[in-house]
Chain A
Amino acid sequence: SQTIHQWPATLVQPVGSPLSLECTVEGTSNPNLYWYRQAAGRGLQLLFYSVGIGQISSEVPQNLSASRPQDRQFILSSKKLLLSDSGFYLCAWILLGRVNTEAFFGQGTRLTVV
Chain B
Amino acid sequence: AQRVTQPEKLLSVFKGAPVELKCNYSYSGSPELFWYVQYSRQRLQLLLRHISRESIKGFTADLNKGETSFHLKKPFAQEEDSAMYYCALRSPHYNQGGKLIFGQGTELSVKP
A contact set with B: CB distance below 8 Å? 32, 34, 36, 41-46, 49-51, 57, 59, 90, 92, 94, 96, 99-103, 105-108
Report Cα–Cα, A101/B86, bound state, in Å. 16
B106 nearest in chain A by CB position:
A43
Report Cα–Cα, A41/B84, bound state, in Å. 12
Would you call B44 and A43 a contact (CB within 8 A)?
Answer: no
- How many B residues, CB 8 Å from partner? 27
B104 close to chain A: CB less than 8 A: yes
Report Cα–Cα, A51/B97, bound state, in Å. 6
B6 close to chain A: CB less than 8 A: yes
Contacts known (A101-B49, A101-B90); A43 close to B32, Cβ less than 8 A: no
B contact set with A: CB distance below 8 Å? 4, 6, 9, 32, 34, 36, 43-46, 49, 51-52, 86, 88, 90, 94, 96-105
Would you call B101 and A105 a contact (CB within 8 A)?
Answer: no
Report Cα–Cα, A3/B46, bound state, in Å. 15
Would you call A43 and B103 a contact (CB within 8 A)?
Answer: yes
Report Cα–Cα, A41/B4, bound state, in Å. 13
Would you call B97 and A44 a contact (CB within 8 A)?
Answer: no
Would you call A99 and B46 a contact (CB within 8 A)?
Answer: no
B44 nearest in chain A by CB position:
A105
Nearest CB in chain B: distance from A58 CB, A: 12
Q: List 19 A-B contacts (CB under 8 A).
A: A36-B102, A41-B104, A43-B4, A43-B86, A43-B104, A44-B86, A44-B102, A50-B97, A94-B98, A94-B100, A96-B98, A99-B51, A99-B52, A101-B32, A101-B98, A105-B44, A105-B45, A106-B43, A107-B43
Would you call B101 and A90 a contact (CB within 8 A)?
Answer: no
Q: Which residues of A contact B88 (CB under 8 A)?
A: 103
Q: Which residues of B contact A105 (CB under 8 A)?
A: 43-45
Other-chain residue from B36, B43, B96 in contact with A57 (beta carbon distance below 8 A): B96
Q: Which residues of B contact A36 (CB under 8 A)?
A: 102
Report Cα–Cα, A61/B6, bound state, in Å. 24
10 closest A-B pairs (Cβ-Cβ)? A43-B104, A44-B102, A96-B98, A105-B44, A51-B97, A32-B97, A43-B105, A105-B43, A102-B46, A43-B102
